[in-house]
Amino acid sequence: MRFLVVKSKSIICILSLLLCAVLLSVNIGYGNCASVYFGYAPRLVPIYSVDTTEKKVAITFDSAWGADKTLKIIETLKEFDVGATFFLCGFWVEEYPQMVEAIDSANLEIGTHSNTHADFVKLSKDDMDMELSSSINLIKKITNKEVELFRAPYGSYNNAVIESANEHNLKTIQWDVDSLDWKGLSATEICNRVISKVKNGSIILCHNNSEHILEALPLMLDRLQNMGYEITSVGNLIIKDNFYIDHQGIQRKK
């Protein structure tokens, strides 16, 4: 009987410790407190979406290959009077400098999508720094503006990737609504997919040269505006100061 009492106390003690660990791990930064308790590094996450009560979303375009649809995208965004963010690869900037000028002249936001579209998780620290600094310099040479946002190619990241981006004063941006425009979906399918998943603070992923983006974009913008959403750039959506990012990638005010 004494053995059972001692064993029960031990079990209760262990369960209490585990409960404390769970509560710590869901705190700000997901693992900062838990890392102290267990001795492991916290898991860093990019911004997937923003916690906001405003009906406000950001639309983004990854630009790595091709540019023949970019001017029409810019025209459509202007027609609907909305903002957007273009994430540009360095080699794309070198090949299409006039398109970078057009994006910038339309007061649309530009972030870096790396220099060569490499998988950052597979790169060394020096190579990551080179990818970021090279692409930033190429963009700044044309726009004369600071680059503040980074989207990792393939959405591939780990702590080292986010830490490198932070060192270059870049916020790492993912998405919570994938249009899947790159899969060859029809314009209606792309639009319906976005509308079914969007919410306040969403970041929508599109590509500047996907097959049906020119047909899908006006459908999406029209539906979103009819639903009462303000469509803007990532920079105008995210919280600039005094924020944290929870374990789901939702940026929240402290």
pLDDT for the residue numbered 41 = 59
Are 143 and 24 in the same domain?
no
96 and 54 share one domain: yes
Q: In terms of DSSP bridges, do strands 85-88 and 171-172 run parallel, antiparallel, or are they unpaired?
A: unpaired
Is residue 43 one of the residues assigned to a domain?
no
110 assigned to some structural domain: yes
- Domain residue limits at 31: 2-38
Q: Do residues 245 and 140 share a domain?
A: yes
Contact between 204 and 87 under an 8 Å Cβ cutoff? The reply is no
Residue 248 maps to a domain: yes
Residue 44 lies in a domain: no
Do 157 and 195 have their domain in common?
Answer: yes
Q: 165 in a domain, yes or no?
A: yes
Number of domains in the chain: 2
C-alpha of 129 from chain center:
19
Residues 53 and 20 in one domain: no
Chain-centre distance for alpha carbon 215: 24
Co-location of 81 and 18 in the same domain: no
Residues 53 and 33 in one domain: no
Contacting residues for 146 by C-beta, under 8 A, at least 6 apart: 140, 169
Q: Are residues 25 and 58 in the same domain?
A: no
Same domain (yes/no): 172, 74: yes
Does 14 share its domain with 131? no
CATH number of the domain to which 168 belongs: 3.20.20.370
Instruction: Identify which of 202, 194, 195 has the alpha carbon closest to the alpha carbon of residue 174.
Output: 202
Residues 6+ apart with CB under 8 A from 22: none
What's the average pLDDT block by block, 10 residues per block, for the chain (254 residues)? Answer: 48 48 41 39 92 98 96 98 98 98 98 98 98 98 98 98 98 98 96 98 98 98 98 98 97 97
Is 182 inside any structural domain? yes
Residues 139 and 32 in one domain: no
The contacts of residue 183 (CB under 8 Å, 6+ apart) are none
Compute the distance between CA of residue 171 and CA of residue 47 in angstroms, rounded to an integer. 8
pLDDT score, position 113: 98
Q: What is the pLDDT of residue 8?
A: 53
Same domain, 21 and 136: no
Instruction: Say which residue the tokens 């950001």 belong to.
Output: 58
State the amino acid at position 189 in one-letter form: E
Judge whether 214 lies within some domain.
yes
Between CA 154 and CA 176 the distance in angstroms is 14
Domain for residue 174, yes or no? Answer: yes
